[in-house]
């Protein structure tokens, strides 16, 4: 259960017209859009799209321990018992926070250049020319695709008249194109008439396709219209292409200019109305407009940084990549004007690394008050928890409950789950910050995983949390990485604790030792002020 406590607008529909109440009761479209994106892949959660990996998702390490070394009860828990997680932010927290950007702009009166410099330390703002980019339109995968153009289209040099739909189908080894008979737009035709067949791929373009330099100014009345599954229509600038992926599925792509693409991303990744927040600012806009401009630069840069992710396309249109919506037919005229202005005012601007390569400009809806660091230095974000107009950040803080049986299923290899030990935190922010390493203890051993992996396994909003419930729980973790247990020149035992200490006992020589414990049966006089988290015999 997620406790949201959000005030928002009355608009409760997705971009395709479907209602959002079932996903997030009582939440309007602007913040719900962020919520739907906030739990996904590369920018906000813990699993990247195919072909990409996360350094935060190291493989689980199963550590054998001496039974009884961890002071936890040997108790079986009913499936009705639950753990309560209270945390901050949503997803990985890498790069910028969109709520933070809105606050820095509308309340802090930072320009988009200053906002970008804050979140993406070590990068340089540069300007490039427009270029073609190919986007995978994921909803068209593995099924026939229907397309029309208000002014007529061309498919593999065959001209089709205005508003006449064509249907493209992968028949296994060939791609067939049929033309609708007696149909206008997306309406169901009386019949489909064969038009052409190709073996590999085909291109679909408007009869009057603008050049790359003019493509950003293409209007919806000139553009190709895709009849999407479910009945909605998405108009797109540039070309459409149909081919097959490595799994042999039919895929639909949109090739268009980078600047045209940015227009289709900005309002789907940040509510365009945020451009109206705050008092009068630069460029004849409200100060909130600076957040939209920052989003434009981030979207442009990210599209270049990911490279050719899929072979047949550089990037996808879903929240596994960046949400791209073509002409944004769900936006109001005011919103679209703000989107267009943000693209024009930042024309060609990207963030570059010191090497000159585009920076990997990840961003999330909320970082919880402190970014995670990684590609860029970790920085505080006091504006992340703000309320802007009628929209408040629902993830700072958040609360979720998870059944103990879910934890048991995820860590069944440790036997009956008995305890949770936070081993290491980032040291940045409330409660010691994000969890870098966490251990689940059971009757048959323990398993230590990165905090991001633990959060992903249990469906938590982020890896920044504390937990309470009917288990032995240690939320401390410390703010610095635990010292290495070192090596031993003789046989014996090395003990490690959650506050970073290690000790050599029973004849072991620990070359990285820090202290010994005052525990019955072990040498030394130091009192035990942190739970023992591992006991391992040495060769």
Q: Which long-range contacts (CB under 8 A, 24 or more apart) does 404-408 make?
A: 404/77, 404/78, 404/79, 404/81, 404/82, 404/83, 404/469, 404/470, 404/471, 405/77, 405/79, 406/458, 407/83, 407/440, 407/458, 408/77
240 and 340 inside one domain: no
Residue 435 included in any domain: yes
> Is 460 inside any structural domain?
yes
DSSP category for residue 482: P
Range with lowest mean pLDDT among 76-80, 216-220, 234-238, 519-523: 519-523
Write b or e for each residue in 15-43: b if 16 or more Cβ atoms lie within 10 A of its Cβ, otherwise e.
Answer: bbeeebeeebeebbbbbbbbbbbbbbbbb
Query: How confident is the model over 178-195, as a mean pLDDT?
Result: 92
SS (H, E, C) 16-55: CCCECCCCCCCCCHHHHHHHHHHCCCCCCCCCCCCCCCCC
Same-domain check for residues 270 and 366: yes
Domain shared by 520 and 451, yes or no: no
Please give the sequence-ordered ranges of beta strands (E in DSSP) within 387-455, or none if there are none. 387-388, 391-392, 398-403, 417-425, 435-442, 445-449
Q: Check residue 248 and give its pLDDT.
A: 86
Mean pLDDT of the chain: 80
CA 492 to CA 20: how far, in whole Å?
Answer: 60
Answer whether residue 371 is part of any domain: yes
Q: What is the pLDDT of residues 97-106, one digit of tens each?
A: 999 999 999 9
Same domain for 350 and 294, yes or no, is yes
Q: Which domain holds residue 445?
A: 39-88+397-474
Check whether 79 has a pLDDT greater than 50.
Answer: yes
39-74 per-position pLDDT tens digit = 333 443 333 222 222 222 222 222 222 222 333 333
Residues 412/414/419/422 CA torsion (nearest 10 deg): -100
Residue 470: CB partners within 8 Å, gap ≥ 6?
A: 77, 81, 83, 404
Coil/strand/helix, residue 98:
helix
Per residue in 418-446, pLDDT (tens digit) is 999 999 999 999 999 999 999 999 999 99
Q: Hey, is 112 helix, strand or coil?
A: helix
290 and 360 belong to one structural domain: yes
* 443 plus 510 within the same structural domain: no
Same domain, 277 and 353: yes
The yes-or-no verdict on residue 36 having pLDDT over 50 is no
Q: Which residues on adjacent β-strands are paired with residue 401?
A: 84
Tell me how far CA of residue 161 lies from CA of 144, 165, 169, 192, in angstroms.
20, 9, 20, 15
* Domain membership flag for residue 254: no
491 pLDDT band, cuts 50/70/90, is: low
- My answer on whether 275 and 227 are in the same domain is no
Question: Nearest Cα to 114, choosing from 365, 325, 379?
Answer: 379
Question: H or E element: which one contains 125?
Answer: strand 124-127
pTM of the model: 0.76
Domain assignment present for residue 512? The answer is yes
| 508 inside domain | yes
pLDDT given at position 534: 59
Residue 256's Cβ-count burial label (10 Å; 0-12, 13-18, 19+) is: buried
Residue 199 or residue 86, greater confidence:
86
In this predicted structure, the answer to whether residue 184 has a pLDDT above a threshold of 80 is yes
Q: Which residues, other chains included, contact 190 with Cβ-Cβ below 8 Å and sequence gap of 6+?
A: 181, 182, 183
Looking at the structure, do residues 296 and 433 belong to the same domain, yes or no? Answer: no
What is the pLDDT at residue 307?
84
pLDDT at residue 377 tops 90: yes
Q: Tell me, yes or no, whether 251 lies in a domain.
A: no
- If asked whether residues 314 and 335 sit together in one domain, one would say yes
Q: Which of 215, 244, 273 is the last residue of a domain?
A: 244
- Same-domain status, 295 and 363: yes
The residue out of 386, 410, 440 marking a domain boundary is 386
Are residue 350 and residue 333 in the same domain, yes or no?
yes
The domain tally of the chain equals: 4
User: Would residue 234 count as lying in a domain?
Assistant: yes
Q: Does the pLDDT at position 80 exceed 80?
A: no
């Amino acid at each position: 259960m997620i406790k949201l406590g959000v005030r928002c607008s009355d608009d409760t529909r997705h971009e395709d017209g479907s209602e959002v109440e079932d996903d997030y009761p009582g939440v309007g479209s602007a913040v719900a859009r962020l919520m739907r994106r906030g739990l996904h892949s590369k920018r906000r959660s813990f699993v990247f799209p195919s072909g990409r990996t996360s350094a935060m998702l190291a493989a689980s390490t199963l550590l054998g321990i001496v039974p009884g070394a961890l002071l936890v009860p040997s108790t079986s828990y009913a499936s009705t018992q639950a753990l309560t997680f209270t945390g901050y932010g949503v997803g990985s927290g890498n790069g910028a926070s969109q709520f933070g950007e809105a606050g820095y702009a509308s309340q802090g009166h930072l320009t988009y250049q200053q906002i970008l410099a804050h979140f993406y330390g070590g990068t340089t703002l540069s300007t490039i020319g427009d270029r073609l980019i190919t986007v995978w339109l994921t909803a068209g995968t593995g099924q026939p695709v229907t397309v029309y153009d208000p002014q007529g289209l061309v498919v593999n040099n065959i001209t089709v008249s205005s508003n006449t739909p064509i249907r493209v189908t992968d028949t296994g080894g060939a791609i067939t194109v049929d033309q609708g008979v007696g149909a206008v737009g997306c309406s169901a035709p009386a019949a489909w008439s064969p038009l052409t067949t190709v073996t590999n791929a085909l291109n679909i373009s408007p009869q009057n396709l603008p050049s790359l330099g003019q493509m950003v100014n293409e209007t919806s009345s000139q553009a190709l219209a895709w009849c999407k599954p479910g009945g909605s229509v998405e108009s797109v600038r540039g070309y459409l292409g149909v081919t097959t992926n490595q799994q042999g599925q039919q895929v639909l792509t949109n090739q268009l200019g980078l600047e045209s693409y940015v227009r289709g991303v900005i309002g789907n990744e940040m509510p365009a109305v945020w451009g109206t927040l705050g008092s009068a600012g630069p460029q004849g806009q409200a100060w909130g407009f600076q957040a939209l401009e920052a989003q434009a630069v981030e979207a442009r840069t990210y599209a270049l940084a990911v490279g050719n992710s899929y072979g047949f396309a550089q990037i996808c249109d879903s929240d596994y990549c960046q949400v791209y919506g073509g002409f944004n037919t769900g936006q109001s005229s005011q919103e679209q004007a703000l989107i267009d202005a943000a693209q024009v005012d930042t024309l060609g601007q990207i963030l570059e690394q010191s090497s000159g390569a585009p920076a990997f400009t990840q961003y999330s809806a909320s970082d919880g008050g402190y970014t995670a660091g990684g590609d860029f230095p970790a920085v505080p974000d006091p504006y992340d928890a703000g309320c802007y107009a009628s929209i408040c950040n629902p993830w700072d803080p958040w609360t979720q409950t998870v059944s103990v049986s879910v934890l048991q299923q995820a860590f069944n290899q440790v036997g009956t789950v008995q305890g949770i030990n936070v081993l290491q935190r980032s040291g940045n922010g409330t409660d010691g910050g994000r969890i870098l390493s966490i251990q689940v203890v059971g009757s048959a051993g323990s398993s230590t995983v990165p905090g991001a992996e633990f959060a992903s396994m249990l469906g938590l909003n982020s890896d920044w949390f504390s937990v309470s419930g009917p288990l032995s729980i240690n939320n401390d973790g410390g703010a610095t990485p635990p010292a290495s247990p070192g090596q031993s020149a003789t046989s014996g035992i090395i003990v490690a604790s959650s506050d970073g200490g290690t000790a050599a006992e029973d004849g072991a020589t620990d070359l990285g030792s820090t202290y010994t414990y005052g525990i019955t049966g072990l040498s030394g006089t130091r009192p035990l002020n942190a739970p023992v988290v591992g006991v391992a015999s040495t060769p």
